């Protein structure tokens, strides 16, 4: 057991070193849920709450989050019964990397700036594959290619968001090429300029690991 834990720690250290070379920082420390919070409504509803209302709802959301999400062996593990796991920090322009794994019939996604979503699902049931901007209605929503690995294996996203535009690589293959992400919560307005990132699921076990992010300044650096 000690040997296994030492191996996990070494792998995390090596991954962190590689990420630092590119300017990425960890979103997850591999040990606990520090830096993450539970889901409170959507961005529009949250903006209408008083600070007191939001704080009270956040307490309950965090309790729900801790009941269904946990850190285990360097992974974020979801039991399939709760709400989304959200970053405590809001992000504007960024690039992120994340590994994910689902089981048969899995259906998940990553919300960018609080909005759905970069799709994750069982490609044997949905042959277009994962990585598309599923909730787009006007702009493209399907991935360019199906790049998923067999169900139960680890997949890797590299997601870049600049302004309204999103680019997604899945397992080193381009699946979304600089596509506008529409505002699901109010399609009359553009995507929010700054908001949280969410790990979403429609039920069923789910795993994430190696989460890193690089914030991007206006000049693209």
What confidence tens digit (pLDDT) does each residue in 148-163 have?
999 999 999 999 999 9
Q: Which domain holds residue 39?
A: 27-215
- Over the stretch 87-115, which tens digit does the pLDDT of each residue have? 999 999 999 999 999 999 999 999 999 99
- Over the stretch 47-103, which tens digit does the pLDDT of each residue have? 999 999 999 999 999 999 999 999 999 999 999 998 999 999 999 999 999 999 999
Confidence of residue 1 (pLDDT cuts 50, 70, 90): low
57 CB-side CA count, 13 A = 14
In a domain, 167, yes or no: yes
In a domain, 166, yes or no: yes
In a domain, 204, yes or no: yes
In a domain, 39, yes or no: yes
| Most confidently predicted of 20-34, 164-178, 201-215 | 164-178
Give the domain CATH number at 183. 2.60.120.560
Instruction: Please state, as a whole number, how many other Cβ atoms lie within 10 Å of the Cβ of residue 141.
Output: 17
In a domain, 8, yes or no: no
198-201 and 206-215: which strand pairing?
A: unpaired
Task: Classify burial at 182, counting beta carbons within 10 Å of its beta carbon; exposed 0-12, middle 13-18, buried 19 or more.
Answer: buried
pTM: 0.89
Q: Look at the chain and report how many structural domains it folds into.
A: 1
In a domain, 16, yes or no: no
């Amino acid at each position: 057991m000690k040997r296994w834990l030492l191996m996990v720690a070494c792998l995390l250290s090596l991954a962190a070193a590689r990420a630092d070379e590119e300017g990425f920082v960890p979103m997850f420390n591999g040990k606990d849920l520090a830096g993450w919070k539970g889901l409170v409504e959507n961005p529009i509803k949250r903006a209408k709450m008083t600070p007191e209302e939001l704080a009270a709802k956040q307490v309950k959301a965090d309790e729900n989050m801790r009941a269904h999400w946990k850190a285990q062996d360097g992974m974020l593990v979801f039991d399939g019964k709760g709400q989304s796991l959200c970053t405590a920090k809001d992000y504007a322009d960024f690039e992120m990397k994340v590994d994910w794994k689902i089981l048969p019939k899995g259906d998940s996604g990553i919300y960018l700036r609080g909005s759905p979503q970069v799709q994750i699902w069982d490609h044997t049931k949905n042959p277009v594959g994962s990585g598309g901007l599923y909730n787009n209605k006007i702009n493209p929503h399907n991935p360019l290619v199906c790049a998923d690995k067999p169900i139960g294996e680890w997949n890797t996203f590299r997601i870049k968001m600049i302004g309204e535009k999103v680019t997604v690589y899945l397992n080193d293959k381009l699946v979304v090429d600089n596509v506008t992400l529409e505002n699901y919560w109010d399609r009359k307005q553009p995507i929010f300029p700054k908001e949280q990132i969410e790990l979403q699921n429609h039920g069923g076990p789910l795993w994430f690991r190696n989460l890193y992010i690089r914030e991007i300044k206006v000049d693209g650096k």
